[in-house]
Amino acid sequence: MPSFKVTVAYDGTGLVGWQRQASGVSVQGLLEHALAELDGRHVPVAGAGRTDAGVHALGQVASFSLDRDIDAATLVRALNAHLPETVRALTAEYVGTAFHARFDASRKSYQYRIWCGEALNPFERFYVWHVPVRLDPDAMDTAARQLEGSHDFAAFQTAGSEPETTERTVFSSRVSGVDDPDARGRLILYDVTGDGFLRHMVRAVAGTLVEIGRGRYASEWMTAVLESRDRARAGQNAPAQGLFLMRVEY
């Protein structure tokens, strides 16, 4: 009974997210459907990050065990033959049966993408949050770095899940800007790596960073929000479509 770790990329537009739901198309559901075709039975699939509806991934990781033995390259090809073009298996490797994509993950990296420019670049329309005012990426970067380290991130958590602890370690939290002269705008990228994230945490941080970037608050406000542990003080949750799960490490 071979077990596999598979890296998956998907365009989350129109999907209900990673997790199977009562209705709508989920990445987990699509993978389980494809694996049922391959293995002739229901194959439960675990995912490293339960991305929300509309969130994208370049490096989601899924794990599962099959009855049938199959080599890794053939598995990638067979999965892609049964998946829609919006979801692609990128790599597969054998792992021990004890491996679990979520419980064994030690670091996850997300990127949040913001488009600044009066007109929204049509090629980015499903992959950014469009903020049509000038943002200051240096102020945003100064603020983002204040989240590095081990902290109680309760201020950036959406109620609804009840984790045992709201403490997380953020290894890196940085903002950079990329001018796109062809499309008359600037892409602002927020890259964050941590040992785990609370529900909507990256989106709440991105919303707070935009408040700082547009000059409504100084960079130090990030620390004040963090220390308050009060969700009401952080910015709005930035829209799902700007968020990408980039990488999961084990």
Question: Would you please indicate which residues are annotated as catalytic (active-site) residues?
Answer: 52
Binds a copy of itself by CB under 8 A, chosen from 48, 87, 139, 243:
87
Query: Cα angle vertex 63, ends 60, 66, to 5°?
Result: 140
* 71: CB partners within 8 A, 6+ apart: none
In the set 17, 54, 59, 235, which binds a copy of itself (CB under 8 A)?
59
3-state secondary structure of 80: helix
If binding means CB under 8 A, how many residues of this protein chain bind a copy of itself?
30
Nearer to a copy of itself, 56 or 151 (CB): 56
Among 41, 77, 134, 216, binds a copy of itself (CB under 8 A): 77
Among 53, 183, 189, 224, binds a copy of itself (CB under 8 A): 183
Binds a copy of itself (CB under 8 A): choice among 22, 122, 159, 164: 122
SS (HEC) of 140-169: HHHHHHCCCEEEECHHHCCCCCCCCCCEEE
Each residue 141-170 as x (binds a copy of itself by CB under 8 A) or -, in order, gives ------------------------------
Considering only the stretches 14-22, 85-93, 150-158, 192-200, report the one whose residues sit in contact with a copy of itself under the rule CB under 8 A: 85-93
11 residue type, one letter: D
134 binds a copy of itself (CB under 8 A): no
- Contact between 209 and a copy of itself by CB under 8 A: the answer reads no
Q: Report whether 173 contacts 158 (CB < 8 A).
A: no
Written as six digits, the tokens of 80 are: 């892609």
Q: Which stretch binds a copy of itself (CB under 8 A): 100-108, 112-120, 140-148, 230-238?
A: 112-120
Which member of 46, 58, 189, 224 binds a copy of itself (CB under 8 A)?
58
Residue 241 as a binder of a copy of itself (CB under 8 A): the answer is: no
Burial class (CB in 10 A: 0-12, 13-18, 19+), 184: exposed
Q: Give the Cα separation of 207 and 209 in Å (integer).
A: 5
- What's the CA gap between 149 and 232, in Å, rounded? 22
Distance spanning both ends of the chain, measured CA to CA:
22
Q: Which residues bind a copy of itself (CB under 8 A)?
A: 7, 9-11, 56, 58-59, 76-77, 80, 85-91, 118-123, 125, 127, 182-184, 246-247
